[in-house]
């Protein structure tokens, strides 16, 4: 009898303690570390931490790439913190482009819900994997590899991209090369592009130097 009571007691302790590890809703007021945000006290967590309405509306595509990526990563959607998962909405106006980019922190699964998108990635062996996707199609982009999406239909395209990380990150190749103050001489030396091309791209993308 005592044994059964002890087992029940330890099970109760186990389950009550296990419950506090069900989730770790991001405390956005605290610092962000490579492991994510620290946890908001469980007593302050509400259902709205686990719901995001931020992807209802199309993003604003009136920009140079005619595209908008609306993230629901841990910073916008605190409930995904610590769960190794997140999502974003992609709106591509006619001739819109998501330029070559990587997500250092996670793999991506892209689901097209409207229109046509040419999507592709390049492996570290420099093999090219490219395909035209239509509504209902999905494509996976392995973690860290350069990839892109281009509107292929002449009409607005929409897709949702889920990630194997709550903070997948985003680095856009052209912005890294031409949208900052890395001296043109170094950009030219490291890309083999000529001075006129580098200066032109820096002017278009807001770089200096």
Task: Using CB under 6 A, list all residues that contact ligand NAG.
Answer: 60, 62
Smallest distance from ligand NAG to CB 62, Å: 4
Q: In three state form, how does the secondary structure of 61-124 look?
A: CCCCCCEEEEEECCCCCHHHCCCCCEEEEEEECCCCEEEEEECCCCCEEEEEEECEEEEEEECC
User: What are residue 86's DSSP bridge partners?
Assistant: 163
CA nearest neighbour of 28 among 72, 90, 63, 78: 78
* Contact (CB, 8 A) for 169 and 105: yes
- Quote the CA–CA distance of 65 and 61 in Å, as a whole number: 8
Q: Please identify, using beta-carbon distances, which residue of 58 and 170 lies nearer to ligand NAG.
A: 58
Measured from the CB of residue 68, what is the shortest distance to ligand NAG in angstroms? 9
DSSP string for 174-190: HHHHHSS---HHHHHHH
Rounded to whole angstroms, the Cα distance separating 108 from 30 reads 27
69 or 187: CB nearest ligand NAG: 69
Select the residue whose beta carbon is closest to ligand NAG and give its number: 60
Between 21 and 95, CB nearer to ligand NAG: 95
Cβ proximity to ligand NAG: between 104 and 206 the closer is 206
CA torsion, ordered 117, 68, 50, 45, to nearest 10 deg: 160
CB of 94 to ligand NAG, least distance (A): 16
Q: How far is CA 107 from CA 134, 151, 160, in A?
A: 21, 21, 14
CB 105 → ligand NAG: shortest distance, Å? 28
**CB 58 → ligand NAG: shortest distance, Å?**
9
Give the residue with the Cβ less far from ligand NAG, 68 or 88: 68
Cα diameter, the chain: 86
Smaller CB distance to ligand NAG: residue 63 or 208? 63
In whole angstroms, how close is the CB of 157 to ligand NAG at the nearest point?
Answer: 18
């Amino acid at each position: 009898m005592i044994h059964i009571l002890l087992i029940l007691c330890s099970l109760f302790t186990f389950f009550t303690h296990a419950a506090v590890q069900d989730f770790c809703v991001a405390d956005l007021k605290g610092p962000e570390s490579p492991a994510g945000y620290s946890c908001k006290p469980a007593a302050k967590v509400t259902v709205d931490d686990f719901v995001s309405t931020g992807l209802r509306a199309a993003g604003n595509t009136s920009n140079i790439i005619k595209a908008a990526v609306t993230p629901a990563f841990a910073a916008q959607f605190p409930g995904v913190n610590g769960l190794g998962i997140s999502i974003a909405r992609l709106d591509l106006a006619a001739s819109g482009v998501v330029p070559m980019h990587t997500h250092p922190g996670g793999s991506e699964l892209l689901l097209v819900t409207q229109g046509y998108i040419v999507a592709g990635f390049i492996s570290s062996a420099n093999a090219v994997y490219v395909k035209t996707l239509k509504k209902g199609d999905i494509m996976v982009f392995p973690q860290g590899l350069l990839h892109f999406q281009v509107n292929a239909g002449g009409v607005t395209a929409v897709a949702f991209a889920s990630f194997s990380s709550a903070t997948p990150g985003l680095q856009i190749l052209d912005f890294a090369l031409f949208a900052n103050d890395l001296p043109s001489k170094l950009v030219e030396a490291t890309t083999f592009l000529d001075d006129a091309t580098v200066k032109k791209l820096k002017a278009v993308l807001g770089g200096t130097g």
